[in-house]
Structure 1
Amino acid sequence: MGLRDRHRGARAHRRPRLLGDLSAAERAARTDRADALCARAYADAGGPDVGTALVAVGGYGRRELAPYSDLDVLLVHDPDVDPAAVAELLWYPLWDSGAKLDHAVRSTEETMAAAGGDLKVALGLLDLRHLAGDSNLTLRLRTWVFAEWRRTARERLPELRRLTRARHELVGELAHLSVPDLKESEGGLRDAVVLKALVATWLVDVAHTDLDLARRALLDVRDHVHDLAGRATDRVAPEAWDGLAQRTGAADAVAAQVHVRDLGRRIDHISRTTWRRVDAVLAQERVPTRPRRPALERVAPGVALAAGEIVLEASARPAHDPVLVLRAAAEAAERDVLLAPATAARLARESADLPVPWPEEARQALVRLLASGRGLLDVWSTLEETGVVARLLPEWARIRNLPHASAIHRFTVDRHVVETCIEAGALIRNVARPDVLMVAALLHDIGKGGLTEHSVAGEPIAREVATRIGFAPDEVDLVGDLVRWHLLLSETATTRDPDDPATVEAVAERITSPETLSLLVALTEADARAASAKAWSTWRAGLVRHLARRTLATLLARASGASAPRVPDSEVPLPADVREGVVEIEVSEVADGSRVTAVALDRKGVLADVAAALAVQKVAVRGARAWLQDSYAVSVWETAASGIDAAVLRQQVAAIVEGRLDPRERIARQVRSRRAPSVVVRPEASTTATVLEVRTDDRPGVVAMVCRTLAELDVSVRSAHISTLGPQAVDVFYVQEESAGALSEARAAQAAHHVREVLAGTVET
């Protein structure tokens, strides 16, 4: 270990923060103290006044030191100057002060070469600030840095765009992360730095006031986070929100989260807008001169396209044309271009209120906007930031920046709603009423944020909004029904047996027309796709569509006066060589996992044996169905795993059947849970079987343990339906007596009690 490393290691544990109150003034004072420290160290090291300079770069160069920030410094010198003696003495006083250094020594030529070869170095040098030594050298270097950045901007900005996108994909969005990163996430402080670099190219400009206010507020939050954590960190841990609420004056932790997420949204909106303008500039050919005024292309009454942005015609009068704002927004979204922020601000400021009910043109423009696809995202963000959404849809305030309670969701509620509209826009050709679908997508989660179940709370709000925007009474009923039952198909298909007549009847009682059912299928898909990739797997899609087909058949039969159609029993080809005690296994790959089919002569416990073998391999089971086919027991297992070896699985099942492998202890370890399980009998769910609903931590092996317990009670599992809601598994088992038929009330209670006891024995203590 060298002397420098020994100094750094010995002081790391007692390094004090750069003290100061958490405010812009104290950040400046904190930086002034650091500047004085660096200048004194340079002087004490005998640093010359000519040919060498100590400069600050990065966040220190911007005077944005947080309580535990590093000091990013560069000792730069002319090529004919040897700075070794100064460098040898310079760093020790800074280490001894407790400051954490990120430092380098380079000549001006080396600095230029480093900036030319490394984009991150170039960005850091854009914030270069003189600390000590030769101020003329600093000025020369700074002048060169900016001149070179502007000269090479067109060549370097595509790389900066790729780096920015990669960071966003890796870290996520500040407005939606459960543990937000104030610096690296999309809409974070790093994006504010990138925006400053974009402005320095002289190719684009930004809304400086809005950006500076949001950036300073986010810097204040980071200062609080440092102070609360007692160390340098950019991530806001869940336990920090209460402290942030107290320090920022927010009402509570939720209000503090909303404040931080709103700052991220503002920076992200400015960033998206600016990058669109950069893309437009880069797409243009270089010409010596450009027309001073861009050509206007009229695209709708009062609306024009200019330089890749939607603006207003000179003759437009928002105060006399209340539909103009929706017309302009729809044009921008459909063309996937910017709704110029200045235009949106003017529309928000000058537009007349729409009459109630809205005229047909306004409603059609809203539907066009919602169905425009990916172009909706940036346009809706602009409408939000300028206050247009608040005027058109006051109810939006209920869900703006509202976090989702379910871990399966990747966005806040409001962003999820916009993503649902985008997904629904791709499905409008599948339904007879695209307008109803799009408005239902916009309003499906409007009831969230209260104590009442959100689909119940949302229905009257949706009906009120649908009436206000001009839908007829029957259309209002459609929107209301879709909002009320938007979870019906997904929840029923994944937790109930779609082939059980009671399941279909339960859906058909609530969804009474084929038109509503068609719209609900599309809304269910859009809602799931917008939540996360896992929420609309091939398996879930198949279950929902199968249930919808069954329900449609029932509705059509009712309309014609016929009895409900009989669904034929499922059949699979039976292996010719199945012998007593032998379980034949086949594995087939599906789009997002595998399907395992097991066939054996019917006997007690065969389903439990297959489930145990899957659990031993730690295969996550998403769903299972079992039935008798002639004298054979057939089970089909939907799994999330791929590459399952049928031969290995067959061998493990045989070892379990023959007693050579006892998987119970291994499965019990896998199933260990943090929370007590819930096991409930659902008598209303079926007339031909008894339904047990098991809720516990999502772990491989739960299905195996439940099946084994029921087999020991001489209870047959007809089918199992597995659904994951964040960290919790909801597993539903349709069970019957060995002789077929639902369990008696006493037997059902006994089965539930035994399953509960077995699972409770795995709860961590």
Structure 2
Amino acid sequence: MPASTPVPSARELLTQVGRSRAERTRGADERLRSLLADALTATETTASGVCVVALGGYGREELSAASDLDVLLLHDDRCPDVAAIAERLWYPLWDDRIALDHSVRTLDETLTAAAGDLRSALSLLDARHVAGDAALTIQLRTTLLAAWRRTAPRRLPELEESVRERGDRVGEIAALLEPDLKEARGGLRDGVVLRALAATWLVEVPQANAARIREGLLDVRDVLHEVCGRRPTDRLLADLQADVAAGLGLADRDALLRHVYQLGRTMSHLSDVTWRRVGRALAGRSVRRGARSRQRPGPVLTPVAPGVASVDGEVVLAPDARLGTDPMLPLRAAYAAADRGLLLAPHTADRLAGAHRPLPTPWPDEARRLFTALLGAGPDLLPVWEACDQAGLVADLVPEWDRVRCAPQYSPVHRHTVDRHLLDTCVQAARLVRWVYRPDLLLVAALLHDMGKGDGSPDHSVTGARIAARLAPRWGFDADDTATLVLLVRHHLLLADTATRRDLDDPTTIKQVAAVVRDADTLELLAALTEADARATGSAAWTPWRAALVERLVDRVRRTLERGQLPQPGPLATWQRLLAQRGGLDVVIEPREGGEVGASQLTVVAPDQMGLLATVAGVLALARLSVRSASVHTLDGMGVSIWSVSGDPPERAVLRERLTAALAGGTDLADRLAGLDAAYATSSKGRTRRRGGVGTAGAGPVGAAQNGAGADAASADGADVAAAQVRVVGGASTAATVLEVRAHDRPGLFHHVCAVLAAAGCSVRSAHVSTWADNAVDVFYLTRPEGGPLADTTAAEISRSVRKSLA
């Protein structure tokens, strides 16, 4: 007789690479049926009164290579040997090394568990019969669903709060470089919640769309679990993304993240829409109960704009809507929803996308007015724009939107994808419209400023300016307004870059900015765009220090444009001159202007000597102080350096003692800083940065991104450290040579560069430092010992020396 085919173990059935979820579920079901049949035979028990029920993901037939089996052995008093049956079920599975979430309960015990624990209730809603007495499973499901619908008004607020808490704790899929596919907002867990909401019968849930999104996320998770091997995770780790992309047939990591972000965004949108409807449904029940109404009132349709009405908290098409003949109908509906804080009904957005008439080119004035008003709606813009984007309406309004939709930003400084960052910038810009002469230009520039990202362009500002030049005339802006929008997009980094990297006391700095903006009105627009962009980027991008620098720059440029006034280097304060004339080393610690927490100004006075700045920088680095800027003055043979720092400085006497020892050669700064750098590299692994030369609190160029010229072009995991870039910035000053150093951040970097410059025999007049994540941008204004800029050959040699020392 031929040998019988061996029955595969449960582990083999679950973990075999390439098996589909249905195949894994079918294999697990067959294994459990076989085990239950053997157990019933061994215990001489009939199948009546006992059954095996699949719960949770197993109940939904969503098993991956790393899933556990969530199994309930349900029984009633007709099954006396349930303990023996359970042993014969569980032990073979444990022998197969299967992660098993098991329970043995009666029907009453199961209902009590569901009533007392929300997560258990959600898992039980997906109960599916596997083996044994099917009538018992049917009774369980019928009773559970009836109880869930009866208690939903009481339990849903708790469920909503748990969903909100989880989203706040884990984050949103489309805002994470390593998203958790299960727990993050917009992930698989939200899909489970939508199934539970549909089961309440309180609201309509787009289950087909939600199921499609879940299938897409499950496909990604399946490949992720197969790639992980023995260490399964639901988190899409950076070092696994390339392999997961290949497993899904996607081009690269960027394509994978766009795919996952789009799935998560759609799931979040469905969840938001459903929860808003749940809130209205529960509020309506409460009102009717309070009024003791016997009849439910019908929906009231309220006109809000031509062809547009509101009903039950949603904007819909009015009966007289000229769908297909009114080209401005989508804009009127979107603006009506955002202006009133209402939901643009998904079926309305779909109808508009499927039948609306395109706007003529150029747009009529009314269309442009509605569009800019929509952009200025504040936070209520976000859900309305998302509804339009999900329906396909945004691509008609902004043809370039596809290039930035769900485009990842690999800098950890950015909180969101490129498209969401553009919308957040519009939200921030809406707060500033009263301070500019043309709010419409500010809002459109906010929407367009990073539109050049998303395709690997070497300079996204240049690409974005070309896009603005194409779109602005289409939207009906005249030639002058188009030129202003192009300028704003092309130079949206100008003020932030200049404020943090240039000497604001140098007349050349102010003249160069003034030459770009040309007039005070445009300067106001650019300043507002700078602030909105920075606030939308993240907390590190708009600190009080940064805001003060930009404000100082804008004020000086405005005076130049309006009165022709150029700044002059500020003299030392009287007390600083007296301190220098006294001779000897001293230090004064003062709080920074504006009262920023953790910010100080240090004045260090010491006999002038070559390398003084490097020595002070090294002492500050060892004191864990982050330097933002430094300026140097010489008076009667004394060096007076003024430092802007963040961190907690030591006591004045302690800092003076450390500086005295270091200047006398009693401290081996180089060795101690090398040790600090080594410890820092080991502990931080290229992630959170704070060094003596620069701190993330003074983050670098606003809006710089992975495809721009900014300093935040870092790898997401910090593993790849790009070679240092050192260049002489031509024309940046007539009084000094400007050297820009871009390098991987570390505590001793600023001291190191200062030491190389001192060894080269040049003086540092001022220094300005900034970072994005793990990248530092340090700018030095260099002069000859007797004053004046360096010779070109000398500057080139010093640039090579600094670059070589950082290699």
Cα 1:611/1:304, change in 2 over 3 Å: same
* AA partner of residue 501 (structure 2): T
Q: Counterparts in 2 of 1:571-650, with a 5 A limit?
A: 571=573, 573-574=575-576, 580-588=583-591, 590-591=595-596, 593-604=598-609, 605-628=611-634, 633-642=639-648, 646=652, 648-650=654-656
Tell me the percent identity: 47
* AA partner of residue 677 (structure 1): A
Cα 1:107/1:735, change in 2 over 3 Å: farther
More off after superposition, 611-620 vs 382-391: 611-620
How far the C-alpha of 1:730 sits from its partner, in A, is 0.9
Say which SS state the counterpart of residue 408 (structure 2) adopts.
coil
Say if 1:593 and 1:638, in contact at 8 Å, map to a contact too. Answer: no
2:59 aligned partner: 61
2:742 aligned partner: 695
User: Is 1:293 the counterpart of 2:263 in the alignment?
Assistant: no
* AA partner of residue 452 (structure 2): G
1:686 aligned partner: 733
More off after superposition, 730-739 vs 332-341: 730-739
| TM-score where L is the length of structure 2 | 0.86
Question: How many Å separate the matches in 1 of 2:310 and 2:575?
Answer: 62
How far the C-alpha of 1:624 sits from its partner, in A, is 3.1
Q: Counterparts in 2 of 1:726-765, with a 5 A limit?
A: 726-760=773-807
Say if 2:507 and 2:567, in contact at 8 Å, map to a contact too. Answer: no
Cα 1:113/1:646, change in 2 over 3 Å: farther
User: Is 1:359 the counterpart of 2:349 in the alignment?
Assistant: no
Question: How many Å separate the matches in 1 of 2:224 and 2:555?
Answer: 53
Question: How many Å separate the matches in 2 of 1:629 and 1:372?
Answer: 56
Cα 1:166/1:571, change in 2 over 3 Å: farther
Cα 1:16/1:733, change in 2 over 3 Å: farther
Say if 1:587 and 1:646, in contact at 8 Å, map to a contact too. Answer: no
User: Is 1:447 the counterpart of 2:447 in the alignment?
Assistant: no
Question: How many Å separate the matches in 2 of 1:409 and 1:644?
Answer: 33
User: Is 1:181 the counterpart of 2:180 in the alignment?
Assistant: yes
Q: Counterparts in 2 of 1:365-514, with a 5 A limit?
A: 365-404=370-409, 406-448=411-453, 449-514=455-520
Question: How many Å separate the matches in 2 of 1:756 and 1:175?
Answer: 38
Say if 2:17 and 2:226, in contact at 8 Å, map to a contact too. Answer: no
Question: How many Å separate the matches in 2 of 1:38 and 1:730?
Answer: 62
How far the C-alpha of 1:363 sits from its partner, in A, is 0.8
* AA partner of residue 334 (structure 2): A
Say if 1:621 and 1:639, in contact at 8 Å, map to a contact too. Answer: yes
Question: How many Å separate the matches in 2 of 1:729 and 1:37?
Answer: 58
How far the C-alpha of 1:565 sits from its partner, in A, is 5.1
How far the C-alpha of 1:343 sits from its partner, in A, is 0.9
2:25 aligned partner: 31
How far the C-alpha of 1:235 sits from its partner, in A, is 2.4
Say which SS state the counterpart of residue 14 (structure 2) adopts.
coil
More off after superposition, 612-621 vs 76-85: 76-85
Question: How many Å separate the matches in 1 of 2:796 and 2:214?
Answer: 60
1:589-612 Cα offsets, whole Å, 9 max, x none, are 743532231231452244333322
1:564 aligned partner: 566
How far the C-alpha of 1:732 sits from its partner, in A, is 0.8
1:18 aligned partner: 14
* AA partner of residue 427 (structure 1): L
Cα 1:643/1:156, change in 2 over 3 Å: farther
1:308-367 Cα offsets, whole Å, 9 max, x none, are 111121111122321121111111112222100111111112221111211111111111
User: Is 1:238 the counterpart of 2:238 in the alignment?
Assistant: yes
Say if 2:585 and 2:607, in contact at 8 Å, map to a contact too. Answer: no
More off after superposition, 499-508 vs 166-175: 166-175
Question: How many Å separate the matches in 2 of 1:120 and 1:278?
Answer: 19
1:680-729 Cα offsets, whole Å, 9 max, x none, are 22232211122221111112221122223333444332222112133211
Question: How many Å separate the matches in 2 of 1:140 and 1:644?
Answer: 72
Cα 1:428/1:45, change in 2 over 3 Å: same
2:208 aligned partner: 209
How many residues align? The count is 742
* AA partner of residue 305 (structure 1): S
Question: How many Å separate the matches in 2 of 1:105 and 1:715?
Answer: 80
Question: How many Å separate the matches in 2 of 1:102 and 1:309?
Answer: 42
How far the C-alpha of 1:279 sits from its partner, in A, is 2.6
How far the C-alpha of 1:60 sits from its partner, in A, is 0.6
Say which of 306, 312, 315 aligns to 2:320.
315
* AA partner of residue 600 (structure 1): V
How far the C-alpha of 1:116 sits from its partner, in A, is 3.0
**Structure 2 residues not aligned, in runs of 5+:** 1-8, 682-720
Say if 1:622 and 1:638, in contact at 8 Å, map to a contact too. Answer: yes
1:71 aligned partner: 69
Say if 1:463 and 1:476, in contact at 8 Å, map to a contact too. Answer: yes
Cα 1:648/1:343, change in 2 over 3 Å: farther
How far the C-alpha of 1:478 sits from its partner, in A, is 1.0
User: Is 1:652 the counterpart of 2:654 in the alignment?
Assistant: no
Say if 2:505 and 2:570, in contact at 8 Å, map to a contact too. Answer: no
Question: How many Å separate the matches in 2 of 1:599 and 1:567?
Answer: 19
Q: Counterparts in 2 of 1:45-56, with a 5 A limit?
A: 45-46=39-40, 49-56=47-54
Question: How many Å separate the matches in 2 of 1:549 and 1:27?
Answer: 63
2:100 aligned partner: 101
Question: How many Å separate the matches in 2 of 1:290 and 1:305?
Answer: 22
More off after superposition, 581-590 vs 637-646: 637-646
Say which SS state the counterpart of residue 679 (structure 1) adopts.
strand
Say if 1:502 and 1:685, in contact at 8 Å, map to a contact too. Answer: yes
More off after superposition, 155-164 vs 464-473: 155-164
Q: Counterparts in 2 of 1:124-135, with a 5 A limit?
A: 124-135=123-134
| TM-score where L is the length of structure 1 | 0.90
Say which of 749, 754, 758 aligns to 1:711.
758
Q: Which has the higher contact order (CA 8 A, sep 6+)?
A: 2
How far the C-alpha of 1:497 sits from its partner, in A, is 1.4
Cα 1:568/1:208, change in 2 over 3 Å: same
How far the C-alpha of 1:648 sits from its partner, in A, is 4.5
Say which SS state the counterpart of residue 347 (structure 2) adopts.
helix
Say which SS state the counterpart of residue 131 (structure 2) adopts.
strand
How far the C-alpha of 1:93 sits from its partner, in A, is 0.7
**Structure 1 residues not aligned, in runs of 5+:** 1-11, 761-765
Question: How many Å separate the matches in 2 of 1:583 and 1:115?
Answer: 71
Question: How many Å separate the matches in 1 of 2:357 and 2:574?
Answer: 65
Cα 1:628/1:301, change in 2 over 3 Å: farther
Question: How many Å separate the matches in 2 of 1:17 and 1:77?
Answer: 27
Question: How many Å separate the matches in 1 of 2:95 and 2:527?
Answer: 67
Q: Counterparts in 2 of 1:76-87, with a 5 A limit?
A: 76-78=74-76, 83-87=82-86
